[in-house]
Amino acid sequence: MHRTLPAGLGLETHPRVVFPVPSAVSGNGAFAYSTNPATGEVLAGIRLDDERSYETVLGRASEGFLRWRSIPAPVRGQVVRAIGEELRAHKEALGELIALEVGKIRAEGLGEVQETIDIADFAVGLSRQLYGKTMPSERADHVIREHWHPLGPIGVITAFNFPHAVWGWNAMIGAVCGDTMVWKPSLLAPLTALATNTIAQRVAEGLGHSGVFELVIGTDAVIGERLIADRRLPLVSATGSCRMGRHVGSVVAGRLGRTLLELGGNNAVIVEPDADLDLALRAIVFSAVGTAGQRCTTTRRLIAHASIVDPLTDRLATAYRSIRIGDPLAEGTLVGPLISASAVEAFERAIARAVAEGGKVVVGGKRFGSGNGHFVEPTIIRAPASGLPIAHEETFAPILYVFSYRTLDEALALNNGVSQGLSSAILTGSNRTAERFLGPAGTDCGLAYVNLGTSGAEIGGAFGGEKDTGGGRESGSDAWKAYMRRQTSTINYGSAFTLAQGIRFE
Ligand code: UN1
């Protein structure tokens, strides 16, 4: 399965990329190694940033901000439009690179690039719609209005599982808002970040704008800690585990900066007795098994009504047995590898714990294949009536825990009974049931789906979740407001000096 890097992205000649990997550099702490998780093969070495290069990058982003903030927003939108066009032109190559570096199947790698193209389109329109409000003043000849202004250079920390699109959500919106980006990607996906940022930077510089799209690739100890503590970055947008988010949140709060956190999920699908089971089957399989269970939106818990839980689980098990696992770039593969050997170990530990807690493996449960790839079998585990503590944790692997219930209240209590609050879904033919699920006493998650699975959000809505998921909102709707500072301005266009609240000061 040896593969070369996709052409046209300039990676082979990129000054930071050591390709092919000379064995002499192995083990040198100045490099990260991009590895194909399907084969274990090292794709390239990537030079890491250190304290000094971090300062250079921060300097560029800070100076870039002083220029970029004064470029009219619709003109900034034209830069984003050009980036979207360039991403369209490189969609195949980038999608394949994502597949190669993080093991997504080709369709999902392409889908991820499409997600950035979509958010770029959205951002172009938004660049003419950064609306503020006007308020009637209580004083004659006064007007009050809100202005939204660029915030500053912002830190963007992304995870391996969406190594391209999550940057896109932040960077395309941030750019039209007038911010400049300092992107710290996962060390598990440095090539995707290099290729992506190179495109954005080249387009922006070609149009005369430098310091807008900056990248720092480095360890958490040297780069991550520096970035989150850096007072020059008024906003840090971070995607990753709840543990990571807690740390980022507290460090940034300690300097009274802002965070936008998109952390772990523990997403459930509720299946009512009146659900269309064919639809349920397809929705659950995609959301539970897609991306090998490594989306923050992956369905991890199935909460099925007691009257249908057995036939539904049987049908799911049959579907799981027919899923093709293997080379993510091969036609017909639905499940690629996990990201790393330690992810496979975490999968095995979770299964062992589930079994020790009384869970019954219905299908899967083991590693898959004999090579160096990090493959596992998509797995279904039936929870005992007494509950399953492991199901409260997010394991980034395709494990689906099955619970049953009798009343909708019970199902909702299960749905909401975990610390995370990202995504949720219900399958039902009843409008009333669906509306109860969506209502204020229904699901407590940031994302709620009816007759769909928990993953696969479009970019137009605000994306994010509650509780331990961190409360941030990215992508569409009015998520842009997190990337700007709000100014309330009051203007006196008369000649009298009057005070609010009726105060007289004479
Ligand atoms: C993530 O897993 O971090 O809704 C993001 C989805 C994708 C985004 C997932 N559009 O599944």
How many CB atoms lie under 10 A from the CB of residue 458?
11
The Cα–Cα gap between 162 and 141 comes to 51
- The fourth-level CATH superfamily of domain 267-460 is Aldehyde Dehydrogenase; Chain A, domain 2 (3.40.309.10)
What is the distance between the alpha carbons of residues 451 and 441, in angstroms, rounded to a whole number? Answer: 19
CB atoms within 10 A of CB 211: 23
What are 295's two structure tokens? 């989306």
Q: Ligand 1 center to residue 262 CA distance, Å?
A: 10
Residue spans of the domains in the chain: they are 16-263, 267-460
* 3-class SS of residue 408: helix
Q: Is the CB of 455 under 6 A from ligand 1?
A: yes
The Cα–Cα gap between 164 and 137 comes to 45
Question: Into which CATH architecture does domain 16-263 fall?
Answer: 3-Layer(aba) Sandwich (3.40)
**pLDDT values of the chain reduced to their tens digit, one per residue, 506 residues:** 346 899 999 998 899 998 766 565 555 568 899 999 999 999 999 999 999 999 999 999 999 999 999 999 999 999 999 999 999 999 999 999 999 999 999 999 999 999 999 999 999 999 999 999 999 999 999 999 999 999 999 999 999 999 999 999 999 999 999 999 999 999 999 999 999 999 999 999 999 999 999 999 999 999 999 999 999 999 999 999 999 999 999 999 999 999 999 999 999 999 999 999 999 999 999 999 999 999 999 999 999 999 999 999 999 999 999 999 999 999 999 999 999 999 999 999 999 999 999 999 999 999 999 899 999 999 999 999 999 999 999 999 999 999 999 999 999 999 999 999 999 999 999 999 999 999 999 999 999 999 999 999 999 999 999 999 999 999 999 999 999 999 999 999 999 999 999 999 98
DSSP 412-480: HHHHH-SSEESEEEEE-S-HHHHHHHHSTTS--SSEEEESS-S----SSSEE--EETT-S--EESTTGG
The partner residues of 260 in beta bridges, in order of sequence, read 237
The ligand 1 atom nearest the CA atom of 297: 11
Active site residues: 262, 296
User: What is the C-alpha separation between 286 and 284, in angstroms, rounded?
Assistant: 5
CA 250 to chain centre: 20
Q: Cα(11)–Cα(21) distance, rounded to whole angstroms?
A: 13
287, 296, 339: residue to mutate for ligand 1 pocket, most atoms within 8 A of CB: 296
Distance from the CA of 82 to the center of ligand 1, in angstroms?
24
Instruction: Give the amino acid at 256.
Output: L
Mutational test site, ligand 1, from 295, 396, 452, 463, max ligand atoms within 8 Å of CB: 295
- Cα–Cα distance, 157 to 179 (Å, whole number): 15
Atom index in ligand 1 nearest the CA of residue 159 equals 3
Q: Crossing angle for the helix pair 408-416 and 431-438, nearest 10 degrees?
A: 30
Q: What does each C-alpha distance from 69 to 60, 72, 151, 155, 202 come to in angstroms? A: 14, 8, 8, 16, 19
Cα separations (Å) of 209 from 79, 150, 155, 458? 9, 16, 19, 30
